[in-house]
Structure 1
Amino acid sequence: MSEKCLLDQWRDMAYNKELSKDQLEQFWGTYFNIEKGIYEQLLDAPDVEVKGTVEELAKKYGQEVLTMAGFLDGINDSLKVPNPIETMDASTEVSLAFDKEKLYKNMVDAKADWLYELPQWDNLFDEETKKRLYREQKQSGTIRKEKKIGRNDPCPCGSGKKYKKCCGKNA
């Protein structure tokens, strides 16, 4: 295949190093508004599976095919069955059937407050559930170190000996 797949074309456009910082900010600002609009529609009917070709979905949401490819790239990790985004073209059949909790957590992970604070989430999750999902996602990236056992501390195996004379002997 000599022509680049849609995802590569999208990435070339979205991460164009020849654009100025202002141009990139304007590009992403416009994209994030488009993305927000699509998510509002999806979250209004979360149990309805939206399917079609990339081109059909682009028309449905009033977008260009490349913009739809970017959206599909962003939502892919939240789908029940991922789409073949690495190889898709305009006629590839795709589905937007998403896992609600996974989508919410991925939005939190992406720090996309304009998405995880959409009012449509209030119809899907109560406040407590949203807080729990938010906390779970934030904690999933936190690395916790266990307290180090000192040489003269009691051995954690419960033998009553010092660590250095018991399980720490071979460490």
Structure 2
Amino acid sequence: MALLQDWQAIAYNRETDKNELQKFWQDYFLVEKGIYEKLLTNPNEVVKGTVKELADRYKIDVMTMTGFLDGINDSLKVPNPIETMTEDTEVNLGFDKEKLYKNMVDAKADWLYNLPEWDLIFSAEKKKALYLEQKKSGTIVKPKKIGRNDPCPCGSGKKYKYCHGRNK
């Protein structure tokens, strides 16, 4: 069984007690935050190694590393084969800075996108622009509704109700 499936079986187990699951995620988010603090200190370095080697490097177990790799995968310049990875699979943590920041905003992970390490990577204006860009990307803008007495958008000069607004 691939590591990702094992991770998902633990992290998203519906039979686990709610308090236990909440504690699991709290612990995971602290570990995740610690790894991101280290990665963002040197954002141009592409950390590489096997899943096991990276777990050892960050002093965590392989399952937690699998969860981290699952979370960061959409922000990587070259995605890892997370669906099929094992302990010996070579992976990398070469992330796209803007994509990572936006994905953290999208995940509503304020404990990550508010890390002080981001201040060394982006200016306050750039962070604000990325934040707003990500928030707007999920906003649906409905077109203005045409009123019965408005001019028809086809350009005929007639009122909408006498042109394309007629029930035929």
Please classify the TM superposition score into its range, dividing by the shorter chain length.
over 0.9
Matched, 1:60 2:45: no
Deviations 1:120-171 (A, max 9, x none): 0000111111111111111111111111112321123444322344455699
Partner of residue 36, structure 1: 33
Partners in 2 of 1:36 and 1:28 — Cα distance?
A: 12
Partners in 2 of 1:93 and 1:169 — Cα distance?
A: 64
Partner of residue 7 from structure 2, selected from 5, 10, 20 = 10
Partner of residue 143, structure 2: 146
**Bigger CA drift: 142-151 or 57-66?**
142-151
Secondary structure of the structure 1 residue equivalent to 2:49:
strand
Partners in 1 of 2:166 and 2:19 — Cα distance?
A: 61
Percent of residue pairs identical: 68
Q: Letter of the aligned partner of 2:64 in structure 1?
A: T
Gaps of 5+ in 2: none
Partner of residue 101, structure 1: 98
Report the alpha carbon displacement of residue 22 of structure 1 after superposing the two structures with TM: 1.2
Secondary structure of the structure 2 residue equivalent to 1:146:
coil
Question: Paired residues, what number?
Answer: 168
Partner of residue 67, structure 2: 70
Deviations 1:36-58 (A, max 9, x none): 00000110011111111111111
Partner of residue 83, structure 2: 86
Matched, 1:125 2:122: yes
Partners in 1 of 2:15 and 2:66 — Cα distance?
A: 21
Partners in 2 of 1:151 and 1:122 — Cα distance?
A: 52
Q: Letter of the aligned partner of 2:55 in structure 1?
A: A
Partner of residue 159, structure 2: 162
Partners in 1 of 2:2 and 2:158 — Cα distance?
A: 64
Gaps of 5+ in 1: none
Partners in 2 of 1:146 and 1:121 — Cα distance?
A: 37
Matched, 1:27 2:21: no
Partners in 1 of 2:8 and 2:14 — Cα distance?
A: 11
Alpha carbons of 1:83 and 1:170: their partners in 2 closer, same or farther (altered >3 Å)? farther
Q: TM-score, normalised by structure 1?
A: 0.92
Report the alpha carbon displacement of residue 30 of structure 1 after superposing the two structures with TM: 0.6
Q: Letter of the aligned partner of 2:19 in structure 1?
A: D
